[in-house]
Amino acid sequence: MTVHDLNELLLICSLVLLIAVAAVRISSRSGLPSLLLYMGIGIAIGQDGIFDVKFDNAELTQVIGYAALVVILAEGGLGTKWKEVKPALPAAVVMSTVGVAVSVGVTAAGAHYLVGLEWRQALIIGAVVSSTDAAAVFSVLRKVPLPSRITGVLEAESGFNDAPVVILVIAFSTAGPVDDWYVLIGKIALELAIGAAIGLAVGFVGAYGLRHVALPASGLYPIAVMAIAVTAYAAGAIAHGSGFLAVYLAAMVLGNSRLPHWPATRGFADGLGWIAQIGMFVLLGLLVTPHELLQDFWKAVVIGLVLTMVARPLSVVVGLLPFRMGWQEKALMSWAGLRGAVPIILATIPMVYDIEGSRRVFNIVFVLVVVYTLVQGPTLPWLAKALRLGDSAEAADLGIESAPLERLRGHLLSVAIPGGSRMHGVEVAELRLPAGAAVTLVVREGESFVPLPSTVLRRGDELLVVATDPVRDAAEARLRAVGQGGKLAGWLGTTGRTGRTGRGTPGRQ
């Protein structure tokens, strides 16, 4: 590649990104899922499109898709709140294993008996589409105010179920007979155990290091966090474990460890997640040949109908059988099993292995994802409202950023008071911060001032709180408690802490 070629490539990529950013705005106004617009950009550029760019490298698409999925899972893990996931963890694990098995079996049976596909092709499709897409689930759940119980299960399930599905797709795509069911279960269990152990270990070690080492620049913290998450994936994959589970767990540990300069880290990860999604969807749009989709359109619709109306609800009912959840919650979770780029990326695996009929499998999966994303995504908020599962009255969380003051053995906490916080109307003296912590500055409507004990805090204020190292945890916990319960937080039993002793992690208040 010459410098001239590089210049042209950078121009094209920057224009695609700008168009994709504009597409997000269109998506937010119209309710059309943004992933479809990104795919549309790729289709417009590719074969049968405006520029007729011929791209058919399934192996390269798979590699880039895996890399993008690592970033998306890391970003999703960083935003997952432990206090919401913890009570939902058993249900999410069962949904990611037993639920996936039920969905694969029912969908494969429908593809074989209703559409007439061979069993290997039917099993591959069943495995590919049984994985809910992390990017789609994370993006939709941030717009739909659902109870934390449902959100926790859906987020954890989408982060966990990629691992067993990848193993199943590779097993079904390998030449020769498929392993016995008990061998597959053993492989899945072993890979999940290795991935979980490595992910948790890397996450805790990385969080400990970042909390105790003051880096010379705040911009280094986001880079370090993402590097630690990617390290977990690579270490897990090299150790023959589930790298996808490892990166999600490592990111979740990091995201709940109250690291310095956390808002900057979240913004950096969010930007990387958007770039990964845009690149992945555009590339998938390039890979598809539009005129080939028509002949498999109705097959995809039928298989998608089986998946959406039979397989997914049945997997939810069976998976959640040991847990107490109402029919409204199960109905919403059945409809919220969103598919996105992950199934399409997994559909490239049989193409790489050169399985007979793999191109048809890819086309069916592509059409299925597009059609049912158009149906499920926009209707999910309406269904949540109809089932009376919306949680829009929930108070907003405080945004607290911490910067270490190494020489003073202290911390500078930046506290943002959102619109729904009960800290509104509280005087500074009524915060009752522990000795060694004090509000040093208030920024209100672009102007800053040193507050008095009688200064009344308002929504939209930003506070700078200096806390010595021994009382940092107690100060943050107290701030969160007041944000949740107001000036009477201590009397009301609100502590601002989560289930972990001595650690007040960001949560919904």
Q: What is the pTM of this model?
A: 0.76
How far, in Å, CA of 160 to CA of 370, rounded?
23
Instruction: Dump pLDDT digits (tens) for 419-439.
Output: 878 899 999 999 999 998 999
- pLDDT band (50, 70, 90) for residue 26: confident
Helices and strands (H, E) in the chain, number of each type: 21, 5
- pLDDT band (50, 70, 90) for residue 407: low
Apex CA 192: angle with CA 99 and CA 337, to 5°? Answer: 30
How high is the pLDDT of residue 507? 34
The residues of the chain that CATH labels 1.20.1530.20 are: 31-386
Q: Are 73 and 248 in contact (CB under 8 A)?
A: yes
- pLDDT band (50, 70, 90) for residue 31: low
How far, in Å, CA of 5 to CA of 2, rounded?
5
How far, in Å, CA of 382 to CA of 373, rounded?
15
357-374 CB burial, b ≥16 within 10 A, e <16: ebbbbbbbbbbbbbbbbe
Secondary structure element (H or E) that encloses residue 343, with its range: helix 341-346
Q: Are 157 and 85 in contact (CB under 8 A)?
A: no
The residues of the chain that CATH labels 3.30.70.1450 are: 399-488
As a whole number of Å, the CA-based R_g of the chain is: 24
How high is the pLDDT of residue 147? 76
> Which range among 30-34, 113-117, 238-242, 484-488 shows the weakest confidence by mean pLDDT?
30-34
Long-range contacts of 360-363, Cβ-Cβ distance < 8 Å, separation of 24 or more: 360/121, 360/296, 361/121, 361/124, 361/125, 361/128, 362/58, 362/287, 362/288, 363/288, 363/292, 363/293, 363/295, 363/296, 363/300
Helix, coil or strand: residue 80:
coil
User: Both tokens of residue 21?
Assistant: 């950013």
How far, in Å, CA of 464 to CA of 344, rounded?
47
How high is the pLDDT of residue 138? 64
Instruction: Dump pLDDT digits (tens) for 55-106.
Output: 889 999 999 999 999 998 899 899 888 887 888 889 999 999 999 999 999 9
Domain 31-386 has CATH 1.10.10.10: no
User: Both tokens of residue 31?
Assistant: 């309710």
Rounded to an integer, the average pLDDT of 492-508 is 41
DSSP-assigned beta bridge partners for residue 401: 414
User: Both tokens of residue 501?
Assistant: 């002793």
399-488 has which fold?
A: Alpha-Beta Plaits (3.30.70)
Q: Are 121 and 357 in contact (CB under 8 A)?
A: yes
